Amino acid sequence: MRDTMRNRCVGVVFYVSALFLLLSSGAMAKEWKLSPKQSIAEVVEQAQAGDTLRFVAGVYKQANIIIQKPLVLLGEKGAVLDGSHQHEILVLAAEHITVQGLSFQHSGRSSLNDLAAIKCLDAHYVRIINNQFDNTFFGIHLSNSNYALIEGNTLKAQALNEYELGNGIHLWKCKNARIVKNTITGHRDGIYFEFVTHSTIQENISTKNMRYGLHFMFSNDDEYLNNTFKNNGAGVSVMYSHGVSMHGNRFEENWGESSYGLLLKDIRDSEVIDNQFLANTSGIYMEGCSRTQFHGNEFKNNGWAIQLQASCNDNTLERNNFQGNSFDVVTNGVVVLNTLKNNYWDKYQGYDLDKDGLGDVPFRPVNMFSTVMERVPAAIVLWRSMLVFLLDRAEKVIPAMTPENLMDNQPRMKPYDYN
């Protein structure tokens, strides 16, 4: 009984979407085949809304192609659009445009304009799928374009200086975008969000970008899930936003002087849950961060797992694993208004007499010497020396430099298993 109901529902959904497809692409949709000798602009001119432009293999040295009607651009294997290092390649300025399977290379570079391989201006519902971008300045650049789907693209850039690079996927003032399974390497920022709301960034891999793997500002109510950010110049930065959900991401090997797995600045009412922070100089650096939940994260082999500036309050750190970090928590303040609870700290040396899996004495994660290093960074060359060991012991007995009330009252005895 129930099964037939479900089948009927599925059937209705199928018919409705088929109808929608027919209406939008037009029953008489035509396919145009393009070769490198043809002028793309002319074909675009002739094509009707809903038509498909199929690019056969070859290098198309044509640029500044402006599309103002809902077309489908399909690239066959080996179809390459080349901007000759001077121009923007595609400009999408209509709704419901699809760009799929194309390669883009050598867009122009400019310090004045954000030249991009694909630029979307007020283009809602664009679908940019499985394209390849080699050495483009900006890869995909959206402004004021809602409901975009950007999926399965590969973006690669190479340059020695930051000014020669644009962002991989750049969104400005967009809503409801979905950015899924893209791979971005070697750009300035892998993914850039400014004034973007209700959007999802999912399962992307952003590595070796010169500045941030993900750069995120003034963008509320977004989520980013299961992405990997590895080896970026300064990690991931999330700033001036609220309602951000960060789940299941990996922040890995972001090394450098001001490099963070995750930089949180002026963030409130957000979630950082089930992420992994592995071997970053600083796992999370937070400043002006409030009412944010940090649960189920794994901090492993970082220089500093968490750098908590005094401007943070009402955050909760609960059920996280801290293992193999040089320093677990460091703070510049004395008053601490955040909650630490039930975390596993591998540096904890307490005991559990009542066998409830939680230690019977509190753990103070702030190391005295890390406070010294806040003031004199070069002191790191003395880390793990006998001298520092003795100073630390002394500090544990008579706390003078570390905040006394920053502690986990119920530290867990064994690490959580997050696999």
185 is a site residue for another protein (CB under 8 A): no
Q: Quick one: which of 281, 321, 343, 402 contacts another protein (CB under 8 A)?
A: 281
Using the minimum distance from each CB to another protein, give the nearer residue, 193 or 299.
299
Distances (CA, A) of 100 to 118, 145, 153, 228, 329: 12, 18, 9, 24, 46
Span from 46-54, 55-63, 89-97, 276-284 in contact with another protein (CB under 8 A): 276-284
| CA separation for the pair 298, 308 (Å, rounded) | 17
Using the minimum distance from each CB to another protein, give the nearer residue, 218 or 255.
255
Amino acid, res. 405? N
Report strand pairing: 298-300 vs 321-323: parallel
Q: Is 342 exposed, middle or buried (0-12, 13-18, 19+ CB in 10 A)?
A: middle
Residue with the two structure tokens 């430099």: 401
In the region spanning residues 189 to 228, those forming contacts with another protein, defined by CB under 8 A, are none
Using the minimum distance from each CB to another protein, give the nearer residue, 28 or 386.
386
Tell me the number of residues near another protein by CB under 8 A. Answer: 35
Within 13 Å and on the Cβ side, how many CA atoms surround 212? 17
Using the minimum distance from each CB to another protein, give the nearer residue, 197 or 259.
259
Using the minimum distance from each CB to another protein, give the nearer residue, 14 or 418.
418
In the region spanning residues 360 to 419, those forming contacts with another protein, defined by CB under 8 A, are 373, 375-390
Least gap, CB of 398 to another protein (angstroms): 19
Using the minimum distance from each CB to another protein, give the nearer residue, 353 or 376.
376
| CA separation for the pair 274, 57 (Å, rounded) | 44
Least gap, CB of 327 to another protein (angstroms): 7
Give residue 129's Cα distance to chain centre: 18
Tell me how crowded residue 42 is: count the other CB atoms within 10 A of its CB: 10
Least gap, CB of 266 to another protein (angstroms): 23
Give residue 13's Cα distance to chain centre: 33
Within 13 Å and on the Cβ side, how many CA atoms surround 335? 5
x/- site string to another protein, residues 15 to 54, per CB under 8 A? ----------------------------------------
Least gap, CB of 258 to another protein (angstroms): 9
Q: Quick one: which of 256, 333, 357, 399 contacts another protein (CB under 8 A)?
A: 256
Least gap, CB of 300 to another protein (angstroms): 10
Least gap, CB of 139 to another protein (angstroms): 28
| CA separation for the pair 373, 356 (Å, rounded) | 36
Using the minimum distance from each CB to another protein, give the nearer residue, 279 or 306.
279
Using the minimum distance from each CB to another protein, give the nearer residue, 3 or 257.
257
Residue with the two structure tokens 């393009």: 34
x/- site string to another protein, residues 299 to 338, per CB under 8 A? --xxxx------------------xxxxx-----------
Contact criterion met (CB below 8 Å) for 60 and 75: no
159 is a site residue for another protein (CB under 8 A): no
Using the minimum distance from each CB to another protein, give the nearer residue, 168 or 261.
261
- Length of the chain, please? 419
280 is a site residue for another protein (CB under 8 A): yes
Tell me how crowded residue 130 is: count the other CB atoms within 10 A of its CB: 15
Span from 116-124, 192-200, 256-264, 267-275 in contact with another protein (CB under 8 A): 256-264
Q: State the Cα angle at 281 between 262 and 301, rounded to 5°.
A: 100
Using the minimum distance from each CB to another protein, give the nearer residue, 37 or 414.
414
Q: Quick one: which of 259, 275, 315, 320 contacts another protein (CB under 8 A)?
A: 259
Tell me how crowded residue 414 is: count the other CB atoms within 10 A of its CB: 9
Using the minimum distance from each CB to another protein, give the nearer residue, 226 or 301.
301
SS3 assignment, position 18: helix
- Note the residues at the interface with another protein (CB under 8 A): 255-257, 259, 279-282, 301-304, 323-327, 346, 373, 375-390
